[in-house]
């Protein structure tokens, strides 16, 4: 037991690297007040939240990135820094996106709460990326989940949004139930909830394989739900289709990033032994072949995502399955279970952020105008709005993973990590999946450029601001496809998860 | 590093079309019919000028190329080398990842660079008939040009791969948007086939990087560079055989060799004429070029192991392609373009057979055949395009007696037809003879069997000649092609068709009479290549052994 005095001083020192999170909390509270006082000013909450994100980001940049606080339950390291930046960038993009989202503005009523929940959710995600205590991980995941349930049903007048929200709650409840059950089992076996202490316990003591396997698998189920890995993906297509497209984009990147951060940290801190000399090689505790477990999960996830996506006609749903497939690719990097794999996951996330959000913005801008997300209604888009269609194609090529786009670099590093670990079969499955995915991405381009040339000639007008945002995202996708050293170096520096001695 | 000319000529050669693409994209589209027509003309002539400058650059390279330097696996004897560090990043465990911007040419690539420049230039002229989406068309055309040229000059595997994949995107749209009735099917089939081949190439590339620690193709050729205990270390290991097969299949899809050829007839039939020209003229050569530049010298041991299989693939392609082409004369499916597409499968089979012989004359013949097939088949596709533009059909038995209606056209066409058959005095004869000479030494019986391809080739070509050009002109073609005289003032060729066809005809005749300019280009490199491969492969000596 820690003495009270120590507790206070620990809290005080911990707050130093909890500032970005505190800023988010303050933003959240400010938003509630602002929403009450200044609701007349259009988008005031959006500006406040962007301001909050920027301040939080600045504090992130200048904070010390090697700290353990709150009695060892929360850390600040380069690894979480990377994910926090991804989450912040996603947030800012989503807020920008919400300015133009017709469904939100028309059906969502006052958007005050929208931004409040967005900030609340990012706070939860920030916690997830840094949490090193199973209970804190659980609570943080719940914090982000509850916000996301509400956000996905935000346009409550639209039936499918309410349905999505309800489905999300039910699936979420089940998997968080599984997770907390797993946590309790693991606590029973090791007597601690702290990831470092679990590892230390496992290093010295022998635990029975079966109950240990069950408990860790249950915990993994909780993460798998967040990253929508098969077989915990059932909520994804319905929620992605039903939720406002801004939230779909948000869930597909930020929420996944948080899930992967927690998964990687859990695997590295709780389940692997790493010595000073071979820090980058994770020797996994116990007799379970974790690489195989995650590799199988990855193969199932990407194959199912890709194959089911072939049949989809609703673009939101198609991108939902595609994001399941991408989670599968990223899991390949996790399965490697070393720092190379972690670095490749980070690279992937950064590239994925650009291309996936970009693709969602394109879908939103077009469906704002044509009132549909059906792939058929995108026919002839290349002639109605050449710029958006071209930029959308660049982003889609990146999602396929063809050079010279960022998506290729992301896949390249994932495959490099997988081959480096000698998992040739996994890499082969991965590339075959890339080929499968080609078909449905190209299907969108086919509809935009090859079909419906003479169908509807009316041009689709898109506000210049949005054109610029999409243009920047597509340009970055190309830029990082050609010159990617900075991202690689940054990911490399962030790959090592802070290990508590 | 600067090239020996004082300016980075290869970079200009590769990226000049990108500049052209940007120029084309910047041309404003007019509001009314007339100003739109003007902007179309501007875009067409931008493309002509750009590809012409590219051709000039290629000729400058040809004139300044030192024929005495071998290249192949010797980095110091590559010419016009440009080598810069492109990506230099740290990665845990893997360590440094270094990717270079490494361009250079040797005797194996110079003929291909020339061919690309020539074909891209002449194929602009048949592109003039494109009326819809002109801007997108020429932008894609120029992007394709960059991708193809890049493949032939890249010496860094990563860079090679980027260029290799870069040309998929324009090709998909060029077939998909400006193609025939089944364009969607043909375009996606092309895309998926090629991607299947190239993703496995990607895995082999990463594996090679781990083994060698560099993406330089030249470093990968030296067995001493392979790190101990790395995946491709040693010789004659199973994993090396598998990796070679993955590369070989990736390239064979592009060639295309039987049994990976089924995308080609579809793509050719649906593609617009100029794209067929580029597809047959340049793209197919990327497959065989990839073999000789990458697959063979990096895995020479595996070439030895699979050598007879490669020869069989060549032989089967020759005969099967020729039979399929002959089959186009069957009632009901008589498509002129499909016939030439299958003849491409057959003619590219000679290249594969020549490479498998591993003898200097066989490999020289193979590279020369790549060049000749590029020029001859480009001509054949343009010839089909000429009548398709007029009659809007290319059924083999819908014509007859065109020789009377279009005498000049028939004259020029004869050059291409007889070159494709392999008539002495035209370039196709020399390369095929060299291929047979080489292959006969190593694989006498396979080569005798392949000889059947020549006979079949003569059969389908002469039959076509007879059906389309001789006999009686059907009544419905009796009147002038274009009564208004707007597009085609007379029945015979118009100026831009001359511009496209005549240069190719001159090259074909010139090289048929005097092949030395082309052969001497590659001689040193080919001899060097054979010496390099010698310890690993079977080099037959059937003729002199008798």
DSSP string, B162-188: HHHHHTHHHHHHHHHHHS-TTHHHHHH
Cβ proximity of A321 and A312 under 8 Å: yes
Determine the average pLDDT of the residues in A198-216: 84
Residue in B295, B218, B282 with CA at minimum distance from that of residue B252: B295
pLDDT given for residue B332 in this prediction? 65
Mean pLDDT, chain A, whole residue set: 87
Residue in B63, B151, B169 with CA at minimum distance from that of residue B112: B151
pLDDT given for residue B112 in this prediction? 94
Confidence of residue A104 (pLDDT cuts 50, 70, 90): confident
Q: Chain A to chain B, count of Cβ pairs less than 8 Å apart?
A: 108
Radius of gyration of chain B from its Cα atoms, rounded to whole angstroms: 23
Q: Does the beta carbon of B18 lie under 8 angstroms from any beta carbon of chain A? A: no
pLDDT per residue as tens digits for the range A139-195: 999 999 999 999 988 887 788 888 889 999 999 999 999 999 999 999 998 888 988
Q: Which of A415, A417, A485 sits opposite B89 (nearest CB)?
A: A485
Residue B48 scores a pLDDT above 50 = yes
pLDDT given for residue B148 in this prediction? 94
Determine the average pLDDT of the residues in A66-95: 89
For residue A350, which residues of chain B lie inside 8 Å, CB to CB?
none
Mean pLDDT, chain B, whole residue set: 88
Question: Who contacts B64 (Cβ-Cβ below 8 Å, separation ≥6)?
Answer: B4, B5
Q: What tokens does B374 get?
A: 């590029």
Confidence of residue A108 (pLDDT cuts 50, 70, 90): low
Residue B417 scores a pLDDT above 70 = yes
In eight-state DSSP terms, residue B423 is -
- Give DSSP secondary structure letters for A112-178: HHHHHHHHHHHHHHHHHHHB-BHHHHHHHHHHHHHHHHHHHT-STTSHHHHHHHHHHHHHHHHHHHH
What's the complex ipTM? 0.91
Residue A282 scores a pLDDT above 70 = no
pLDDT given for residue A318 in this prediction? 93
Tell me if residue B101 falls in helix, strand or coil.
strand
Angstroms from B531 CA to nearest CA on chain A = 33
In B61-120, the residues whose Cβ lies within 8 Å of chain A are 86-94, 97
pLDDT given for residue A396 in this prediction? 94
Domain boundaries, chain A: 289-501
Contact B191 A438 (CB under 8 A): yes
Residue of A38 and B526 predicted with greater confidence: B526
Q: What tokens does A6 get?
A: 């120590």
pTM: 0.93
pLDDT per residue as tens digits for the range B236-263: 889 999 999 999 999 999 988 988 999 9
pLDDT per residue as tens digits for the range A23-71: 999 999 999 898 888 877 778 888 999 999 999 999 998 887 777 888 8
Residue A333: other Cβ atoms inside 10 A: 31
In eight-state DSSP terms, residue B131 is -
CA distances from B368 to B62, B155, B264, B494 (A): 15, 21, 22, 31
CA distances from B281 to A494, B169, B257 (A): 48, 18, 16
Residue A309 scores a pLDDT above 80 = yes
pLDDT given for residue B546 in this prediction? 46
Confidence of residue A476 (pLDDT cuts 50, 70, 90): very high
pLDDT per residue as tens digits for the range A367-417: 888 888 888 888 888 888 888 999 999 999 999 999 889 999 999 999 999
Angstroms from A22 CA to nearest CA on chain B = 33
C-alpha B520: how far from chain center: 20
pLDDT given for residue A145 in this prediction? 92
Contact B93 A419 (CB under 8 A): no
For residue A339, which residues of chain B lie inside 8 Å, CB to CB?
92-93
Residue B544: other Cβ atoms inside 10 A: 7
Q: Which residue of B has its CA nearest to A441?
A: B188
Backbone phi and psi for residue B82, each to the nearest 5 degrees, phi listed first? -130, 120
Residue of B57 and A11 predicted with greater confidence: B57
Question: Who contacts A354 (Cβ-Cβ below 8 Å, separation ≥6)?
Answer: A398, A406, A473, A476, A477, A480
Cβ proximity of A60 and A24 under 8 Å: no
Percent with pLDDT over 90 in chain A: 47
């Amino acid at each position: 037991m820690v003495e009270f005095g120590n507790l206070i001083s620990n809290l005080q020192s911990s707050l130093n690297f909890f500032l970005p999170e505190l800023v988010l909390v303050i933003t959240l509270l400010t938003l509630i007040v602002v929403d009450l006082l200044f609701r007349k000013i259009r988008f005031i909450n959006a500006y406040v939240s962007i301001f909050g994100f920027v301040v939080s980001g600045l504090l992130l940049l200048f904070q010390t990135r090697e700290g353990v606080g709150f009695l060892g339950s929360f850390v600040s390291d380069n690894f979480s820094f990377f994910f926090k930046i991804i989450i912040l960038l996603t947030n800012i993009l989503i807020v920008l996106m919400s300015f133009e989202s017709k469904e939100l503005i028309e059906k969502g009523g006052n958007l005050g709460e929208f931004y409040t929940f967005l900030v609340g959710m990012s706070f939860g995600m920030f916690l997830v990326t840094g949490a090193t205590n199973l209970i804190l991980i659980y609570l943080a995941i719940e914090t982000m989940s509850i916000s996301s349930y509400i956000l996905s049903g935000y346009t409550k007048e639209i039936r499918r949004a309410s349905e999505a929200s309800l489905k999300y709650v039910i699936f979420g409840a089940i998997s968080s139930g599984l997770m907390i059950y797993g946590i309790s089992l693991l606590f029973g076996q090791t007597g601690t909830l702290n990831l470092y202490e679990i590892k230390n316990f496992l290093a010295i003591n022998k635990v029975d394989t079966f109950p240990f396997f069950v408990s860790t698998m249950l915990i993994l189920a909780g993460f798998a739900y967040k990253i929508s890995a098969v077989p915990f993906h059932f909520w994804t297509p319905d929620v992605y289709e039903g939720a406002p497209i801004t939230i779909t984009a948000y869930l597909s990147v930020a929420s996944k990033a948080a899930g992967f951060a927690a998964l990687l940290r859990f695997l590295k801190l709780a389940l692997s032994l790493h010595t000073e000399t071979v820090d980058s090689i994770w020797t996994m505790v116990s007799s379970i072949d974790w690489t195989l477990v995650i590799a199988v999960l990855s193969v199932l996830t990407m194959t199912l995502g890709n194959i089911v996506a072939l049949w989809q006609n609703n673009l939101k749903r198609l991108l939902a399955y595609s994001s399941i497939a991408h989670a599968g690719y990223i899991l390949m990097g996790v399965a490697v279970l070393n720092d190379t794999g972690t670095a490749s996951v980070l690279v992937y996330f950064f590239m994925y952020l650009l291309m996936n959000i970009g693709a969602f913005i394109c879908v939103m801008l077009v469906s704002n105008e044509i009132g549909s997300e059906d792939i058929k209604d995108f026919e002839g888009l290349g002639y109605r709005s050449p710029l958006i269609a071209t930029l959308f194609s660049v982003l889609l090529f990146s999602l396929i993973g063809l050079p010279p786009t960022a998506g290729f670099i992301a896949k390249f590093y994932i495959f490099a990590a997988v081959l480096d670990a000698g998992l040739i079969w996994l890499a082969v499955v991965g590339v075959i999946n890339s080929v499968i995915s080609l078909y449905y991405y190209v299907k969108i381009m086919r509809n935009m450029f090859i079909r419906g040339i003479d169908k509807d000639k009316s041009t689709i007008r898109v506000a210049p601001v949005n054109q610029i945002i999409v243009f920047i995202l597509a340009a970055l996708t190309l830029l990082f496809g050609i010159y990617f050293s900075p991202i690689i170096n940054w990911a490399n520096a962030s790959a090592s998860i802070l290990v508590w001695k | 590093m600067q090239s020996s000319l004082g300016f980075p000529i290869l970079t200009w050669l590769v990226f000049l079309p990108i500049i052209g693409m940007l120029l084309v994209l910047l041309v404003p589209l007019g509001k009314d019919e007339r100003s739109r027509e003007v902007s179309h003309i501007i875009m067409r002539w931008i493309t002509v000028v750009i590809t012409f400058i590219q051709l000039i650059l290629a000729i400058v390279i040809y004139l300044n190329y030192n024929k005495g330097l071998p290249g192949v696996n010797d980095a110091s004897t590559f010419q016009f080398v440009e080598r810069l560090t492109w990506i230099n990043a740290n990665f845990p465990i893997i360590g440094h990842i270094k990717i270079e911007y490494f361009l250079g040419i040797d005797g194996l690539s110079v003929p291909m660079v020339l061919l690309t420049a020539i074909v891209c230039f002449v194929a602009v002229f048949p592109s003039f008939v494109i009326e819809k989406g002109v801007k997108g068309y020429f932008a894609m055309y120029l992007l394709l040009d960059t991708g193809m040229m890049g493949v032939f000059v890249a010496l860094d595997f990563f860079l090679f791969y980027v260029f290799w994949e870069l040309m998929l995107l324009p090709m998909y749209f060029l077939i998909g948007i400006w193609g025939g009735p089944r364009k969607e099917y043909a375009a996606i089939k092309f895309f998926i086939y090629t991607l299947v081949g190239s993703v496995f190439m990607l895995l082999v590339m990463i594996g090679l990087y781990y083994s060698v620690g560099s993406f330089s193709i030249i470093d990968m050729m030296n067995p001493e560079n392979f790190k101990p205990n790395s995946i491709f270390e040693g010789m004659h290991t199973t994993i090396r055989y598998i990796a070679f097969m993955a590369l070989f299949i990736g390239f064979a899809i592009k060639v295309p060799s039987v049994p990976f050829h089924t995308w080609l007839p579809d793509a050719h039939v649906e593609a617009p004429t100029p794209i067929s020209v580029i597809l047959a003229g340049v793209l197919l050569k990327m497959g065989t070029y990839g073999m000789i530049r990458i697959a063979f010298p990096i895995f020479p041991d595996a070439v030895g192991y699979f050598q007879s299989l490669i020869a069989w693939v060549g032989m089967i392609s020759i005969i099967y392609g020729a039979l399929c082409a002959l089959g186009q004369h069957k009632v009901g499916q008589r498509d002129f373009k499909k016939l030439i597409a299958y003849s491409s499968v057959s003619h590219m089979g000679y290249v594969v057979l020549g490479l498998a012989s591993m003898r200097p004359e066989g490999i020289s013949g193979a590279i020369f055949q790549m060049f000749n097939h590029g020029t001859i088949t480009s001509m054949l596709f343009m010839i089909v395009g000429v009548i398709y533009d007029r009659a809007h059909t290319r059924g083999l038995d819908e014509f007859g007696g065109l020789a009377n209606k279009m005498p000049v056209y028939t004259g020029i066409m004869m050059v291409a037809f007889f070159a494709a058959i392999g008539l002495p005095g035209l370039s196709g004869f020399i390369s095929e003879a060299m291929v047979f000479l080489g292959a006969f030494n190593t694989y006498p019986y396979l080569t005798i069997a392949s000889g059947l391809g020549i006979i079949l080739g003569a059969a389908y070509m002469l039959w076509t000649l007879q059906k389309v050009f001789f006999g009686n002109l059907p009544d419905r073609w009796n009147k002038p092609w274009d009564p208004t005289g707007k597009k085609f003032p007379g029945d015979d060729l118009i100026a831009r068709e001359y511009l496209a066809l005549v240069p190719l005809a001159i090259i074909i005749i010139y090289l048929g009479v005097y092949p030395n300019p082309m052969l001497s280009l590659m001689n040193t490199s080919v001899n060097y290549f054979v010496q390099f491969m010698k310890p690993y492969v079977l080099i037959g000596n059937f003729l002199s052994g008798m």
